[in-house]
Chain A
Amino acid sequence: MPGAISQWFSAGDYLLALPMILLSIFALGILLIDLMLPPEWKSINAWTAGIGLAFSTAAVIRIHLAYARAGQGVLSYTGFMGSMMVDRFAIYFFYLFLVGAGIAILMSAHYLEIERENHGEFYALILFSVVGMMCMAAGFDIVLIFIGLELMAISTYVLVGFLRSDRRSNEAALKYLLLGAFSSGIFAYGLSLLYGLTGSTNLQLIGEHLATHMRENPHDPIAILALVTTSTGLFFKIAAIPFHQWAPDAYEGAPTSITGFMSVAVKAAGWAMLLRIFLSGLYPMRPIYVPLLVFVAIATMTGANLAALTQNNLKRLLAYSSIAHVGYMLLGLIAGSSTTPSATGIQGILVYLLVYTFMNLGAFAVITSLRRRDVIGDEIDDIAGLITRAPAEAVLMLIFLLSLAGIPPLAGFYGKYFIFLSLIETGHYQLAAVAVLYAVFGLYYYMRIANAMFMRKAVDTRPVTLSPAMATALAITGIATVGIGIFPDLFIRAAGWSLSIAQPLQLTSLFH
């Protein structure tokens, strides 16, 4: 409850952690059950993971209901001595992670059998990484955020290298591990400087101390050093240029379903952490970090869109496209005056992450379904003539691609719409113009894939077979991509509801 924090733990604390506790229990259960399963029954692991996600979702709904009952005034519940804050923002991200993980599991079930790597550990790692993501989204203490980040990252390193007989997968995992560990080190250094500056690990206290510090000493070099190192770590985790080098390699080598999972859920967790730190801990430094963000956003849009033009590997192309999307999303954080972020911009980022989850997972689901025993299926040539081999899939892929390009009335349009709207509202006309220009570049490389699917002859004419789980994943993502585009109201309101993070003024009043 907002108010004085009790000195002792209560049931409320554990309710807030319940989604994570349930996921951990189910992940441990999978590890135990997997030992007893004969090889033909391995699909039970996927079911167990799905049930775990369902239970966790139920727990999130229970917390959500507590907000509904408490009425409009209550914006956040804190637990565990203020180290965790499950506010509306965190709940929004909880749903996002659970949906992303659920669809990734649906995509994985049959794929792992083809790769002959169908082990329970895979699903356990996915669930554990969701626990880490929840710590990142709900962490209000930099210790918890950092440990959550490591939990997610280490699970992902292992998942990327899960295809042990595939050299690309091994190489990707090693590169990702080395660069990830390096960036975590820089990030931890920045956090330790923040702790040294403010004497606290709680984001709210860091914000308050930093505000007085910046008033007394607006260009303190240590504060700037802390800001630069912390944001380097954050940019690394969301793969913004110039800290993106790991992304194309890791995305290409990882099992395709994990590439999808990384590009949505892992990225959303990085964004949750970035928004939390920039908007609650570092908000007094906004005049300093906005120019930094402008540089990174422009570099990201330029570099990623140009690099994507020449890619022939579908996974690599979508990796660069996902970097480009990060560039657009960063614009939402830039929008606003030099001291306060624009609420529309933050809402735009949240909407963007939601629609991106569905459309990108959908595109990766189509690529995953092209995998066979003898065909990897991730080159542009493999998707050529898909319309004759699997008409329904080809049409779905076209929908996902158009949505990624931001064509109305599909879901992807609303993500870009809000970002550009916030830029124009707050007078950043040049940035909006640049972003629109790059969106046109995006259209070109998405249409290259579409061109291959519809205009070129198939190299391999065998029809594509879909497992029931994959069909479900495609149906969910397809319906969501079209549905959000046609009825955007509900989702935009959901993103608006979760905006508890946007205003620093509101943030300082949370505890009292």
Chain B
Amino acid sequence: MLSLYHQVGHNSNWNIDSFEQDNCGDGLILSPVHQPCLRVESLSSQTKGRAFFDPQFYLPNSTKQKLQTYEFFPEVVSGGFRTTDFMAHAFESARLCIDFQISNGFDRIIIPARYFEDMEPTYIEKQEAYTLTPFLEILGSMEIDVPVYFTLPLTSNMIKSEEYRTDLLNWLTGYPEIDGLYVFSYEKRATKQVQDDEYLYQYLAFLHELKEAEFELIVGYSNTESILYSLLGDVSLTMGSFENTRMFSIDKFLVSDDERRGPRARIYLPGLLNWIQFGQAKTIMQDMPDLWRRIYSPTNYADETLAAPVDPTFNQPKLYKHYFQNFSSQIESLKPLTIEQRYNEIRDSIRTAMGNYEAIQSNAFDFERHGSMEHLQPWLDAINRYYRNFIR
């Protein structure tokens, strides 16, 4: 079944409130870099039963404070992570991590993985030694009744390389005991939306092969392009609040003293399939009310924010909760459709969004760079190509 998970991030209570109170999404992906151990353990058993825990071993020597609250985190279990020494602690770390996931009653077990920035030539060997082999060996000696997933952190270069992709596929499909994969990909880009149609197509094609190999899939760390992945059939998609939950970056696992200036607040407009700077959105609402009705799906959160005398900042929850509601509705409407119908629906939505953009722009209005329609044609190209090669 198609489902939607919250990629929990900073201010995790926004996701939890949205899930528990607004009934947005089908579950939560809990995040130790944002949630200390006690916070995770204190969630209700009902919520934990519809959540899974991403152990986030991506940067094993991370000294982020919240990660340090987990006894199994590599930096903690080995008293200061060093690649050469970790092998002595890998099984202990795996055992503690599995025990934690089982005792909390999450809906699946996640085997963590390390993140590699580039086309790491020993990716497979390292993932096996670091986590996969220890975890599978321990899980093999246990009787568990929840599915086992392996984390697959990738980069766009890995996905665009046919040889690398094939190696990954041959490797992963040699593990019949793994039920599913928690996949995500880092794409180095200067835009907030994915605009590389080749990357999107190859990612879809790669995920398709994984589906064909009978893996259940969670496609993590996605922005609104997540909607395109519904063409894969029964997969789990994700939605997040801050950008670092909508596109993967190792930066959030680094301890940094840099004061980063917060971005401007944005609002998600489903009729444009994009996040628009709040000020620009408000201008469209005021100056082009007919067009506004075509692009905006009202929620109480957004209505209140738009009516407020002071514009919001990026670190206030309402616009994210508005996004969760809007995006959940969009995914919900795709659930009953066949893949062919989803393709037609998404294609129509993209074309409609392009039409909406053009209509707005014809009224002497220009979107700033990240709010523009530049992502839409690549999205259309990617799904059309995917349709021709895999659906039709």
Question: Are A and B physically bound partners?
Answer: no
Binding site for B on A (CB under 8 A): none
